[in-house]
Amino acid sequence: SQQGEEDPQALSIQEGENATMNCSYKTSINNLQWYRQNSGRGLVHLILIRSNEREKHSGRLRVTLDTSKKSSSLLITASRAADTASYFCATDASSSGTYKYIFGTGTRLKVLA
């Protein structure tokens, strides 16, 4: 079964609005990452947040992590048409140090110009 589950499955917003996507997971993690996938392409790493961090920023991206609720959110501010993509969270829960990430099913974001 999936470790991470994104919510919503699909999101459609106007250009300039903020987009928020959520990820819930089941077991304790070492860190959590967010990736973007443009249609039919590979995934691109966006940001990593460690289990002892609560918030992280990168440009227009803001990620929060609440380990007590086993959830994370990705906020994209002032969205652009180019942000249209699928977004995935990935969690590393390995105790063996193999850094094997488990991916969720993704949120499909559509930004309308």
Partner 1 sequence: DVKVTQSSRYLVKRTGEKVFLECVQDMDHENMFWYRQDPGLGLRLIYFSYDVKMKEKGDIPEGYSVSREKKERFSLILESASTNQTSMYLCASSTTQGARGYTFGSGTRLTVV
Contact positions vs partner 1 (CB under 8 A): 2, 31, 33, 35, 40-45, 48, 50, 88, 90, 92, 98-106
User: Minimal distance in Å, beta carbon 8 to partner 1?
Assistant: 14
Task: Report which residue type is found at 61.
Answer: L
Q: What are phi and psi of 81, to 5 degrees?
A: -55, -35
HSE, side-chain direction, 13 A CA sphere, residue 57: 3
Interatomic CA distance for residues 5 and 17, integer angstroms: 24
Nearer to partner 1, 60 or 108 (CB): 108
Q: Which is nearer to partner 1, 15 or 56 (CB)?
A: 56
Q: Which is nearer to partner 1, 15 or 103 (CB)?
A: 103
